[in-house]
C-alpha cells in the first residue's frame, strides 16, 4: 500500500517509515519541518535502501495538502494516512495555547476534508496517554475515563479523538484507529535516526542522554516524594521501534475493519526516574549526576498502560527491554552529538 505519513520526518514518524518500508509498503512523507530536519529522509533511505517520497508542506494548508494527494493520485494513489503532524511540547502548549489548538486541530480537519475529496478512508492517529487526565488510575485500559487534561496539548488530543469518532460514525466506510502512546524513547538500532529536540529537552530520556554526552551538567529529578517505591515518578517507557511496529499492525487492522477503535501502545510496565538513571548509566558506561528538584507542575505520580487490547486485537506487544531503550538512545546520542545538525550548522 501507499501510506502518507503527515509529520513523518519527526521522531516517531521516521521510525514508522522504516518499519513500513521494511514490510514492502510505499511511504510518502509530508512535513513542514517545524520540528524536524530534512536529513532524516536520507537516513531512512540508508537504513532501508528505499527513499520515501518527501513533500515539505503544511498539512493545515488545504492547497498544499490537496496538491500532495493530487500528485500521488497520478502515479500511486494514497491508500491510508498515519497522522503524526502536530505540536507536542506540553509546557509550550500552556504558554501558547492558541497555536497548539490552531495547528493540531486545523491540520486534522484539513487532512480529513482532503481524504474525503480523494476517497481515502483509512486513518491512524497519534493520540497520547495524556488523554487519561487526572481522574483515571494506572494501569489505564481504553475504557478508563478520559478528559480532565492538565494542559492544552492534552486537550487537543482529547478533542481530535472526539472529532475522529464523530467523523467515523458519519462515514461508515471509514476506518479510524486511535493510538494512545505511552512514553516513546530510544532510537533505531542503527543509531541513524532518533529524537532530536530543539534547545533544552523537556523529556527525561533526551535530557539524560545530553547529560551522558556532557552537553548538560546534571539531571533534575522532579520530586522524590511521590507515593511510588522510590518516591520518583513512574512511567511506561516504550522503545520507539516497538511503537513504530504497532502502527504497521494498526494499519493491517484498519484494512479489515471499519469504524473507530482505540488502542493503548505501552509495555504495561512502570519504571521510576531513578530506575532510568541506573539503566542509562549501565548502558552508556557514563555517570549521570542528578539533584532532587521540586515536583513539576502537572506531573502524575504513576502512569502505565494495560496493553492487553492491542495484544488481543492487533497481535502486537513490546519486545524490547529498558536496557535496549537506553543502549539505542545512547548509540544515537553518541553517534550524533548535535542530532541531525552538523556541528557547524
Residues recognised as catalytic: 153
Pairing mode, strands 80-83 and 183-185: unpaired
Considering CB under 6 A, how many residues would be counted as binding ligand UFG?
21
Residue among 268, 254, 263 nearest 302 (CA): 268
Residue 101 to residue 71: CA distance in whole angstroms? 29
Q: How far apart are CA 115 and CA 100, in angstroms?
A: 22
Q: Give the one entry of ligand NAD, ligand UFG, none that residue 204 binds, where binding means its C-beta sits below a cut-off of 5 to 8 angstroms depending on kind.
A: ligand UFG
Give 249-273 as a DSSP string. Answer: HHHHHHHH--EEEEEEES-S--EEH
158 forms part of the interface with ligand NAD (CB under 6 A): no
- Stretch in the footprint of ligand NAD (CB under 6 A) among 8-16, 41-49, 272-280, 293-301: 8-16
If contact means CB under 5 to 8 A according to the sort of partner, which of ligand NAD, ligand UFG, none does residue 13 touch? Answer: ligand NAD
User: What is the smallest separation between the CB atom of 274 and ligand UFG, expressed in angstroms?
Assistant: 9
Q: Give the footprint of ligand NAD on residues 247-266 (CB under 6 A).
A: none
Distance separating alpha carbons of residues 250 and 20, to the nearest angstrom: 11
Assess 263 for contact with ligand UFG (CB under 6 A): no
Instruction: Name the strands in the sheet holding 2-6, side by side, starting at the edge strand that comes first in the sequence.
Output: 53-56, 26-31, 2-6, 80-83, 122-128, 175-181, 259-265
Task: Please tell me whether residue 183 binds ligand UFG under the rule CB under 6 A.
Answer: yes
Distance CA 127, CA 178 (A): 6
Contact criterion met (CB below 8 Å) for 75 and 46: no
Of 26, 108, 114, 128, the residue at the interface with ligand NAD (CB under 6 A) is 128
Q: Which is nearer to ligand UFG, 43 or 88 (CB)?
A: 88
Distance CA 289, CA 216 (A): 10
Which of residues 45 and 92 has its CB atom nearest to ligand UFG in the complex?
A: 92
Query: From CA 288, how far away is CA 334, in angstroms rounded?
Result: 15
Q: Which of 2, 220, 317, 334 binds ligand UFG (CB under 6 A)?
A: 220
Q: Please report which helix (H) or strand (E) contains residue 238, including its range.
A: strand 237-239
The contact mask relative to ligand NAD for 95-124 (x = CB under 6 A, - = no) is --------x---x-----------------
Sites for ligand NAD among residues 36-55 (CB under 6 A)? 36
Candidate ranges 6-14, 110-118, 163-171, 197-205; the one touching ligand UFG (CB under 6 A)? 197-205
Whole-angstrom distance, CA of residue 50 vs CA of residue 26? 9
State yes or no: residue 127 binds ligand UFG (CB under 6 A).
no
Cβ(65)–Cβ(59) below 8 Å: yes
Q: Which residue number, 44 or 82, has a Cβ lying nearer to ligand UFG? A: 82
Nearer to ligand UFG, 70 or 143 (CB): 143
Residue with cell 498502560: 305
Q: 62 to 121, contacts with ligand UFG by CB under 6 A?
A: 88, 90
Please state, in angstroms and as integers, the Cα–Cα distance from residue 311 to each residue in 130, 258, 267, 307, 317, following that order: 21, 19, 11, 7, 6
267 touching ligand UFG, by CB under 6 A:
no
Look at residue 34 and give the partner it binds from ligand NAD, ligand UFG, none, a contact being a CB closer than 5 to 8 Å depending on partner kind.
ligand NAD
Q: Which is nearer to ligand UFG, 175 or 183 (CB)?
A: 183
Give the closest residue to 143 by CA, choosing from 316, 306, 313, 318.
306
CB of 171 to ligand UFG, least distance (A): 28
Round to whole Å and give the CA distance between 233 and 221.
9
The residue sitting closest to ligand NAD, measured at its beta carbon, is 10
Interface with ligand UFG by CB under 6 A: which residues?
A: 88, 90, 128-130, 181-183, 202-204, 207, 219-222, 233, 235, 273, 296, 299
Contact residues for ligand NAD, defined by CB under 6 A: 6-7, 9-13, 31-36, 58-60, 84-88, 103, 107, 126, 128, 181, 184
Amino acid at each position: 500500500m501507499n501510506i502518507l505519513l503527515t509529520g513523518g520526518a519527526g521522531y516517531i514518524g521516521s521510525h514508522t517509515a522504516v518499519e513500513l518500508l521494511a514490510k514492502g509498503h510505499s511511504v510518502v512523507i509530508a512535513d513542514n519541518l517545524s520540528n524536524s530536519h530534512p536529513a532524516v529522509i536520507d537516513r531512512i533511505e540508508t537504513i532501508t535502501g528505499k527513499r520515501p517520497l518527501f513533500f515539505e508542506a503544511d498539512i493545515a494548508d488545504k492547497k498544499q495538502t490537496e496538491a500532495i494527494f493530487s500528485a500521488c493520485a497520478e502515479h500511486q494513489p494514497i491508500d491510508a494516512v498515519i497522522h503524526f503532524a502536530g505540536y507536542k511540547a506540553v509546557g509550550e502548549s500552556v504558554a501558547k495555547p492558541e497555536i497548539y489548538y490552531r495547528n493540531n486541530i486545523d491540520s486534522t480537519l484539513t487532512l480529513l476534508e482532503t481524504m474525503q475529496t480523494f476517497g481515502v478512508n483509512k486513518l491512524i492517529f497519534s493520540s497520547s496517554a495524556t488523554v487519561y487526565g487526572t481522574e483515571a488510575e494506572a494501569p489505564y485500559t481504553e475504557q478508563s475515563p478520559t478528559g480532565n487534561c492538565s494542559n492544552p496539548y492534552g486537550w487537543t488530543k482529547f478533542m481530535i479523538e472526539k472529532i475522529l469518532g464523530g467523523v467515523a460514525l458519519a462515514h461508515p466506510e471509514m476506518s479510524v484507529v486511535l493510538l494512545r502512546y505511552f512514553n516513546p524513547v530510544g532510537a533505531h538500532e542503527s543509531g541513524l535516526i532518533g529524537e532530536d529536540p530543539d534547545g533544552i529537552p523537556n523529556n527525561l530520556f533526551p535530557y539524560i542522554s545530553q547529560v551522558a554526552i556532557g552537553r548538560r551538567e546534571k539531571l533534575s529529578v522532579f520530586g522524590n516524594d511521590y507515593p511510588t517505591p522510590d518516591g520518583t515518578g513512574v512511567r511506561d517507557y516504550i522503545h520507539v521501534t516497538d511503537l513504530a511496529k504497532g502502527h504497521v499492525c494498526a494499519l493491517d487492522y484498519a484494512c479489515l475493519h471499519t469504524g473507530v477503535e482505540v488502542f493503548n501502545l505501552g509495555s504495561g510496565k512502570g519504571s521510576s526516574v531513578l530506575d532510568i538513571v541506573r539503566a542509562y548509566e549501565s548502558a552508556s558506561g557514563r555517570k549521570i549526576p542528578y539533584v532532587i528538584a521540586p515536583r513539576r507542575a502537572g506531573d502524575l505520580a504513576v502512569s502505565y498502560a494495560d496493553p492487553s487490547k492491542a495484544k488481543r486485537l492487533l497481535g502486537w506487544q513490546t519486545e524490547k527491554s529498558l536496557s535496549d531503550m537506553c543502549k539505542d538512545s545512547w548509540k544515537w546520542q553518541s553517534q550524533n552529538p548535535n542530532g541531525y545538525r552538523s556541528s557547524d550548522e
